[in-house]
Amino acid sequence: MTTVGSSEFAVRPQLAEDVAGFVRRRIFDGTYAAGTYVRLEQLAADLGVSVTPVREALFELKAEGLLDQQPRRGFVVRPVTVRDITDVSDVQAHIGGELAARAARTVTEAQLEELTAIQTELEAAYAADDGERAVRLNHEFHKGINVAAESPKLAQLMSQITRYAPETVFPTVKGWPEQSNAHHRKVLDALARHDPDAARSAMSEHLRSGAAPLIEHLSGRGVIG
């Protein structure tokens, strides 16, 4: 495994979550191929952290279905399948669409202004090829809509499902930034008109349509066989 500078992780809170994100990204970018063993002690040493947060992270990824645990051999990367991607996309589209519809009924002018500002920044991040910033802003955009829906339990469920979606990959998927921006603007328009049906349709289309280009991208990298 590639050694990572310990300073990247040593100062971060919620280490288990950070380590899980690190491994998750490397599964989806093809660095950790299916069948690769993720060694607890080696990963802890590479990241400069104790084995406790690494163990917690690997069990989290096992619960997500990204890793298997084999007796006396440790954790091994499971294959990512087309069905995995489409199932997550379909569930996101259903719940995300409902949240957007509810947000259309309750969103305030201040929230709309904030969402529009986030989207403008997101488009700038994509244009600057700043993938890390784009991922953060995209998350803020969707979170803002989910908060505006005033349905905390449903928003929490959506947050849990999003763990299974390789968000960090999308900025590198050919054509997706432009398509995503167009979808976001369509969602914003529906929210501004307080049109629940249009908001549901636009958000569902957005979340579902990412599956095909993502599958093509991951297949090209050998992540999906």
Tell me the whole-structure pTM to 2 decimals.
0.83
- Residue 43 pLDDT more than 80? yes
According to DSSP, residue 172 is labeled G
Query: What is the structure's pLDDT at 25?
Result: 87
Q: Which of 79-88, 112-121, 179-188 has the lowest mean pLDDT?
A: 79-88
Here the tokens at position 29 are: 């970018």
Residue 69 confidence (pLDDT) above 80: yes
Please state the rounded mean pLDDT for residues 20-35: 90
- What is the per-residue pLDDT for 164? 78
Q: What is the average pLDDT across 142-164?
A: 93
Q: At what angle do helices 176-192 and 131-148 cross, to 10 degrees?
A: 20
Per-residue model confidence (pLDDT) at position 9:
56
180: pLDDT strictly greater than 70: yes
What domains sit in the chain, N to C, each tagged with a CATH number?
Answer: 7-77 (1.10.10.10), 82-220 (1.20.120.530)
Give the three-class secondary structure for 177. helix
List, for residues 15-27, the tens digit of each pLDDT value.
898 999 899 889 9
- What is the 8-class DSSP label of residue 69? E
